[in-house]
Amino acid sequence: MLLAINVQNSAIALGCFDNAGGLRMVARIAAEPEHTADQYACEIDSVLRLRGYAASEIYGAVLCSVVPSLSMVLYDAVRILCGCEAVNVASGVKTGLSIQIDNPRALGSDLVCVAVEAAAQGRLPALVIDMNTAVTFTALDKRGVLVGSIIAPGVHIGLDALHEKAAQLPSISLSRSNCRLLGKNTVDAMASGVLNGAASMIDGMIARCREQLGDDLTVYLTGTDASLAADYLHEQVCRMDDMVLYGLHRIWIKNRKK
């Protein structure tokens, strides 16, 4: 199996691909800045065993990280657990992607991964919306060139800010769905503001990007918080869960040692 690792600020997504490129397993563990490589190796091993797999089945690994301090830690954890050197999506790694921004090396590796997958899908121009700690919009033109991105606060950042900055607003969960637009109490009003507000922002950004990229724009929605906003969107989007992991798989193929 190929082990793909997507390191985000709050969680680390683990994906296992079989020889045919099928995503056989997806799991998530907490991103803990204090953990050592040995601790992460133990956690990954436990998750694999829980899902019925063994570390000995892993023949390769690839990772991307938006947390620089964890990149080498996870790299070492893979070496400890699997005995292989992971491909780290960073400068010098082959992606096959043309990037036309001010400083391509500063582009987040997760944005590179979703762009690689969107380009491979062939439905261009394309816009990938990835909802995690931040909500990112990655734009590809008709040639498949990454021409720019947008970064906005994620839904949980907005929710935390309401609770922290407003004395009378409580901490609430967004696990509930189908919240009404006009809340009848404080909790419902907060949920509506965050979820409908995020959806309205996304709808508006899609419309503005369509003006620049073309009316035939294909929009992908992915990320751990995608399910929270999907039901409130007016724009048509293609849900593609774990798009970063699929992009990582494609990048590994381009960089694997023969």
* Active-site residue set: 110
What is the spatial distance between Cα 135 and Cα 49, in angstroms, rounded to a whole number? Answer: 32
Q: What six digits make up the tokens of 119?
A: 């380009």
- In sequence order, the β-bridge partners of residue 99 are 146
What is the spatial distance between Cα 49 and Cα 20, in angstroms, rounded to a whole number? Answer: 22
End-to-end CA distance of the chain: 16
What phi, psi does 111 have (nearest 5°)? Answer: -70, -35
What is the spatial distance between Cα 145 and Cα 118, in angstroms, rounded to a whole number? Answer: 11
Contacts of 32 by beta carbon, 8 Å cutoff, 6+ apart: 39
Strand pairing of 87-88 and 60-65? parallel
With both helix axes pointing from N to C terminus, report the angle between 186-213 and 155-165 in degrees, rounded to the nearest 10: 140
- In sequence order, the β-bridge partners of residue 25 are 16
What is the spatial distance between Cα 236 and Cα 38, in angstroms, rounded to a whole number? Answer: 44
- Specify the 3-state DSSP secondary structure of 13: strand
